[in-house]
Amino acid sequence: MTDPTAPITSDQRTKRNVAVLVAAQAVLGAQMPMMFTIGGLAGQSLATNPCWATLPISMIVLGSMLTATPMSALMQRFGRRAGFVVGCFGGATGASICAFALMRGSFELFLLGALLSGIYMSAQGFYRFAVADSASDAFRAKAISYVMAGGLLAAIIGPQLVKVTAASLVVPFMGTYIAVVAVNMIGVFLFTMLDLPPPLRPAMGDAQGRSRWEMLRTPRIAVAVICGTVSYALMNLVMTSTPLAVVGCGYQTANAADVVTGHVLAMFAPSFFTGHLIARFGVEKIVATGLVILAGAGVVAMMGVALENFFIALILLGIGWNFGFIGATAMLAAAHTPQERGRMQGLNDLIVFGGVTMASLSSGRLMNCSGSSVQSGWQAVNMAMVPFLVLAGSALIWLAFRPRAA
């Protein structure tokens, strides 16, 4: 019987899993740009207070945060495939409720559906860890990057489905949520083809590894969590408000969908070479580069509200997220043992999506309630990035100088 703690010498199984998870990222991942494109617009049409327009998106992220630890525990006990299938059913249930809420005109019911949709988002967050489970040390960063690259197709499929379905029924956006249900059902079939190692079940007397608090006190893990959280939260902060800003500046919903397409393409296109860059230059330099690019996105966004500014800013935002988040994931995956995997990955995603929840909640209020115009709200959203970029950058610098101090 194969020892799951033994070093992995062959990546044959990993390459098969990469193919399946790339397909899952492409098909199932399409629902995220779909919901992020129309979530704020649908919320704005249902909410009595425009400050809460992006609350449905926040509820998706909150649902993901609340289910991250239970999802990790479920996968540790029953395997990754079981968790991914549960995520599909959660996404389908949430989308069904959202469609019904739009038909009834109920903002509260719409929020409930969005919350349940977060179950899918939580499961999707473990795709990158799943492929790392069966990868050798040399192939791990590349495998994570390839899986994330599946989002390229999602970037095309999702916004195009929005264009086709947003006005396909009498109730605006209802057709989009029905399409999300179908996407999740396709995902259930895809996961039957996964060939992942069984979850590691410690025997009596086996080492259990460090506690969650001990792991968080480990410098490399702490910095990985901080950088991953900041990269994801700032991407979400700006992306959540983008459709509202684009439409508010006089452009069409189709223009907002195109901007989101460019953004999501930029999120995943670099994944074809991010792993190679990490192997060549080191993970810390790639994460630092991502933070600099995120700052550049904010600068471009604040230079104007022409459609070109939205496109360029959101493309930079996607590239910055890719380098920052994939780099942080690779850093974290190499910093804990197999025995600690379930605890650390669940805790990491709890913290990451906690930060993303706060970012998405803040996004709508900054956008709609912090100034007298759409332009001033958009400026406030991008200015809010500054302190968090300083935090993540300072953490990386501290980590870089710490070995010398020691």
203 pLDDT more than 70: no
Q: Reply yes or no on whether the pLDDT at 1 is more than 70.
A: no
Give the start-to-end residue ranges of the domains of the chain.
12-197+209-405
On the question of pLDDT at 14 being above 80, the answer is: no
* CA separation for the pair 229, 125 (Å, rounded): 13
pLDDT at residue 348, as a whole number: 82
Please tell me the predicted confidence (pLDDT) of residue 350.
Answer: 80
Q: Binning pLDDT at 50, 70 and 90, where does residue 269 land? A: confident
d(CA 86, CA 329): 23
Band (406; pLDDT cuts 50, 70, 90): very low
DSSP 3-state assignment of 335?
coil
| CATH code at 12-197+209-405 | 1.20.1250.20
Q: Looking at residue 109, what is its pLDDT?
A: 95
Distance CA 353, CA 358 (A): 8
Regarding predicted confidence, which is higher, 183 or 44? 183
Q: Report the range of poorest mean pLDDT among 158-162, 193-197, 324-328.
A: 193-197
Say how far apart CA 82 and CA 78 lie, in whole Å.
6
Q: What is the pLDDT of residue 199?
A: 63
Q: How does pLDDT run across 93-138, given as a tens digit for each residue?
A: 999 999 999 999 999 999 999 999 999 988 987 887 777 776 777 7
Q: Which residues fall within 8 angstroms of residue 292, CB to CB, at 6 or more apart?
A: 320
Task: Report residue 342's pLDDT band, with 50, 70 and 90 as the boundaries.
Answer: low
Give the pLDDT confidence of 127-161 residue by residue, as tens digits.
Answer: 877 777 767 777 777 777 778 778 788 888 888 89
CA geometry: angle 327, 243, 227, nearest 5 deg: 20
What percent of the chain clears pLDDT 90, i.e. is strictly above it? 33
Q: Kindly indicate the confidence band of residue 364, based on its pLDDT and cuts at 50, 70 and 90.
A: confident
285 Cβ partners below 8 Å, 6+ apart?
none
For all residues of the chain together, what is the average pLDDT? Answer: 85
Neighbours of 236 (CB within 10 A): 26
CA distances from 45 to 14, 49, 238, 245 (A): 45, 10, 20, 15
Q: Tell me, what's the pLDDT at 32?
A: 84
User: What is the SS3 assignment for 199?
Assistant: coil
pLDDT of residue 93: 96
Structure tokens at 2: 């194969």
